[in-house]
Amino acid sequence: MPVVERPAVTVVGGGLAGCEAALQLARLGIRVRLVEMRPDVQTPAHRGDGLAEIVCSNSLKSTAPATGSGLLKEELDLFGCRLLECARESSVPAGAALAVDRDEFSARVAARISTESLIEISRSEVSELPLRDGEHWLVATGPLTSPSLVEVLGKITGQRSLHFFDAIAPTVTLESLDLEILYRAARYDRGEADYLNSALDQATYESFHAALMEAEKADVHAFDRKELFEGCQPIEEIAASGPKSLAFGPLRPVGLHDPDTGRRAHAVVQLRQENRSGTLYGLVGFQTRLKFGDQKRVFRMIPGLARAAFVRFGQMHRNFYLDTPRCCSRDFSLKDRPDVWIAGQITGVEGYVESMTSGLITAWHLAARIHDIELPGLPLDSMTGALLRNFLFDRTTEKLSPMNVNFGLVPDLATPTRGKRERKIAKSERAVAVLAEWLGQEPVARLLAATAG
Ligand SMILES: Cc1cc2nc3c(=O)[nH]c(=O)nc-3n(C[C@H](O)[C@H](O)[C@H](O)COP(=O)(O)OP(=O)(O)OC[C@H]3O[C@@H](n4cnc5c(N)ncnc54)[C@H](O)[C@@H]3O)c2cc1C
C-alpha cells in the first residue's frame, strides 16, 4: 500500500500515548505531525521538554504473566509496541517490575521518532481543532490537558469533562541516605535485591503515623477526597483510615526480613532506584499532598532518611478525562466529530502501560479508516480487549471511573480452574492465544502490510 501523503494525522501531545500513536501511524504508512506544547507551555507535573516524559513513579509495574500488567506487556509485544521496547532498553533494576531511567527512556523515544521520516515534530499549544478536509486529529493530551483544549473538547462533545485527583511521590538522592541503616532486599527474596529498605519498629512507626496525621496539607484547587484515584491514594489519606493502615498498605513488611534481627519488622519503607546511574531513589507508595516543608520533616523521621535530600517533592493534580462511553465511537473517534480521535489517559484508562496501549490501538483504528479497512473488534478475552472494548464502553455505570488493568476485567474461564494464580495463568494463556488469532485475521494482516514504501 502506498504512503498516505500530507500530514494526514496531527497527533496532539507528545506523551506516552501520543508518541506510541505517532510511531504506529508511521509504521502503517501514514504521514504524521506530532505537536507537543512543552517547553512553551508547561503542565503542573512535567518538568522538562522531553517526549514521553514519565511524571511520577518510574515503574511500569510487573512483568509476571499472572499479573494484569504483565499480561498487558505480553499482548503489547504481539502488537509490536514501540514504547515498551524503549522501556526495556532503558530499564533499571526493580525486581519483578519493569522500571525505567526516565531521562533515558524519553531520549530513546525521541531518537526513535527522529529516525521516522514520516513524522514531523512541532512545539506549540494546540487550542483549536478545526475541520480540515481529509485530515484527522488524534488528541492524546493526557490528564493535564491544557485548559483551552479542555474547553474545545467540551464544546465538541457537548459534555462536562470528568476529573479525578492523582498524586506524585517524592524522590531523594542516594548520597543523602544512610546506607548503614537501609538494607537491600527484594520482597520474598524474589529476583535481585534491588530495593533499599528501611525497617521501622513499633514505636518509630507510631510516631511516624502520628506526625503524618498532624502534618499540613497543601491546598489543591477544588480537591474532594471522594474523587481520589483508588489505585494511588496519598499516604496521608491511607494513614487517616486507621493507625495500622500503613503497616497493612504501602509499609507492609511481609516477605522482608530485618537482616540485623532476622525477624520481620513492624513496618518497612521501600525505595526504588529511579535512574540508570543509581543516584536517585523514589519512596514507593508515598504519593502525597503534604506541604513541602512537612514532607521533608516527616519523611526524614524514616530510619536512614534523616538527612534525605529531596530532588522532587510529592504533589497532587486534578486529572482530566472524557466520558468515553457516551462521547466516543468504538474506534475512539468522537461521535460528533469523526475526524477527531482520542487516546491515552483522556479516554479513561489509567497508567503508563495502559496509556501506551490506548495510543497504539487508536492509531490502528485511525489507520484502518484511512486505508479503508474494517478491523474486527478486539477479542474480549484479551486484556487489551477487556479494557478498551469492554470496560471503556460500559454504559451501565453512570460515570466512567478510570482503572488500571486487572484480571477482574477479563471474563471467567469456560472450565473452572482451582487456585487464584492458576486461574490467572490460564486467563493469560487464553488471552495471548485469542490475540494471536485476531492478529492473523485477514483485515488485520492487510493493515499491518500497509507499511511505508
Ligand atoms: C500527577 C500524576 C501522577 C501519575 N502517576 C502515575 C504513576 O505513578 N504510574 C502510572 O502508571 N501512571 C501515573 N499517572 C497516570 C498516567 O499513567 C500518566 O499521566 C500517563 O503519562 C498518561 O499518558 P498520556 O499519554 O495520556 O498523557 P501524558 O503522558 O501526560 O502526555 C500528554 C502530553 O500532551 C501535552 N499537552 C497537553 N495539552 C496540550 C495541548 N493543548 N497542545 C499540545 N500538547 C499538549 C503534555 O505536555 C504532555 O506531554 C500519573 C498521572 C499524573 C497526572
| Nearest residue to 341 via CA among 18, 16, 4 | 18
Confidence of residue 160 (pLDDT cuts 50, 70, 90): low
Q: Rounded to 5, what percent of the chain is helix, strand, coil?
A: 35, 20, 45
How far apart CA 79 and CA 357 sit, in angstroms, is 9
**How many C-beta neighbours within 10 Å does residue 375 have?**
18
Tell me, in angstroms, the distance from the centre of ligand 1 to residue 180's CA.
37
Q: Which of 10, 16, 221 to mutate to test the pocket of ligand 1 (most atoms within 8 A of CB)?
A: 16
How far apart CA 191 and CA 241 sit, in angstroms, is 33
Is 253's C-beta closer than 6 angstroms to any atom of ligand 1?
Answer: no
**More confidently predicted of 27 and 163:** 27
Look-up: residue for cell 504521514?
Answer: 31
Average pLDDT on 382-397 reads 92
Ligand 1 atom closest to the CA of 353, numbered from 1:
11
Check whether 228 has a pLDDT greater than 80.
Answer: no
Query: Does the domain spanning 4-165+319-448 belong to CATH 3.50.50.60?
Result: yes
Q: Which of 54, 144, 148 to mutate to test the pocket of ligand 1 (most atoms within 8 A of CB)?
A: 144
Contact 75, 384 (CB under 8 A): yes
- Give the sheet arrangement for strand 183-185, strand by strand: 183-185, 195-200, 267-273, 280-283, 171-173, 310-312
How far apart CA 444 and CA 411 sit, in angstroms, is 23
Lowest mean pLDDT of 85-99, 116-130, 177-191, name the range. Answer: 177-191
Lowest mean pLDDT of 44-53, 141-150, 272-281, 352-361, name the range. Answer: 272-281
Contact 125, 37 (CB under 8 A): yes
Task: Tell me the whole-structure pTM to 2 decimals.
Answer: 0.85
Average pLDDT on 7-27 reads 96
pLDDT, position 293: 94
Is 168's C-beta closer than 6 angstroms to any atom of ligand 1?
Answer: yes
DSSP for 256-282 reads -B-TTTSSB-SEEEEEEE-STTS-EEE
CATH fold for the domain made of 171-314: Elongation Factor Tu (Ef-tu); domain 3 (2.40.30)
Lowest mean pLDDT of 229-243, 316-330, 347-361, name the range. Answer: 229-243
Tell me, in angstroms, the distance from the centre of ligand 1 to residue 202's CA.
38
β-partners of residue 49 are none
Contact 363, 138 (CB under 8 A): yes
Dihedral (CA of 171, 176, 178, 179) sign = positive
Is 138's C-beta closer than 6 angstroms to any atom of ligand 1?
Answer: no
pLDDT digits (tens, 9 = 90+) for 316-341: 888 899 999 999 999 999 999 999 99
Tell me, in angstroms, the distance from the centre of ligand 1 to residue 379's CA.
27
Contact 341, 138 (CB under 8 A): yes
How far apart CA 429 and CA 65 sit, in angstroms, is 9
pLDDT, position 190: 75
Tell me, in angstroms, the distance from the centre of ligand 1 to residue 430's CA.
31
Is 357's C-beta closer than 6 angstroms to any atom of ligand 1?
Answer: no
How far apart CA 143 and CA 380 sit, in angstroms, is 26
pLDDT, position 356: 98
How far apart CA 79 and CA 444 sit, in angstroms, is 11
Is 14's C-beta closer than 6 angstroms to any atom of ligand 1?
Answer: yes
From residue 328, alpha-carbon distances to 43, 138, 394 in Å are 25, 13, 12
Is 233's C-beta closer than 6 angstroms to any atom of ligand 1?
Answer: no
Q: Which of 166, 230, 353, 404 to mutate to test the pocket of ligand 1 (most atoms within 8 A of CB)?
A: 166
**Residue ranges per domain, the chain?**
4-165+319-448, 171-314
Let me know if 175 is exposed, middle or buried by CB neighbors in 10 A (0-12, 13-18, 19+): exposed
Reading the block at residue 397, the C-alpha cell is: 455505570
Q: Which of the 8 DSSP states describes residue 121?
A: E
For ligand 1, atom 49: residue with the closest CA: 15
Reading the block at residue 432, the C-alpha cell is: 495471548
How far apart CA 280 and CA 194 sit, in angstroms, is 13
Tell me, in angstroms, the distance from the centre of ligand 1 to residue 319's CA.
9
- Give the sheet arrangement for strand 119-123, strand by strand: 119-123, 30-36, 4-12, 136-139, 337-342, 333-334
First to last CA, the chain: 8
